[in-house]
Amino acid sequence: MGNPYQTFDERLKRIDRKRARLSNGYSAKVTSEGLIVFRPKRRRASFSVRGLLLLIIGFFLFKGMILAHLGGTVYDQRVESLKQGSVIEQAGAFIMAKDDVTVAVATAMRPFVAR
């Protein structure tokens, strides 16, 4: 038979792990013997539409701020230089290309952005 303190410590560790899992929510189930068993709820990967929308709005604000700060000519030159680079830089050029939303944001921000 092993060290009784070691077995006790292992049991305490198991209890702590289970308690930590249960702290994020649990469901109770009564077994056929009448025993109540608590199981941790599985955490589902959630997709936040609001978070995605805020990310997209922030990205267009970022692009508009850069366009307002640099001006159209310099911005176009920088995007064009990205098109000549590696595949990752070309992807960046595609993402950073001017669009109607970015131009509208830049026009609105131009008075507030110092050159």
- Looking at the structure, tell me whether residues 67 and 18 fall in a common domain: no
Strand partners, 29: 37
- Looking at the structure, tell me whether residues 57 and 33 fall in a common domain: no
- Count of domains observed in the chain: 2
Q: pLDDT at position 1, please?
A: 55
- Looking at the structure, tell me whether residues 100 and 59 fall in a common domain: yes
Q: pLDDT at position 53, please?
A: 95
User: Mean pLDDT for each consecutive 10-residue tract of the chain (115 residues)?
Assistant: 77 89 85 88 79 95 94 93 94 94 94 78
Whole-model pTM? 0.59
Gyration radius of the chain's alpha carbons: 28
Give residue 36's domain range.
4-40
Q: pLDDT at position 46, please?
A: 76
- The contacts of residue 65 (CB under 8 Å, 6+ apart) are 105, 106, 109, 113
Q: pLDDT at position 81, please?
A: 94
- Looking at the structure, tell me whether residues 66 and 100 fall in a common domain: yes
Element (H, E) at 112: none
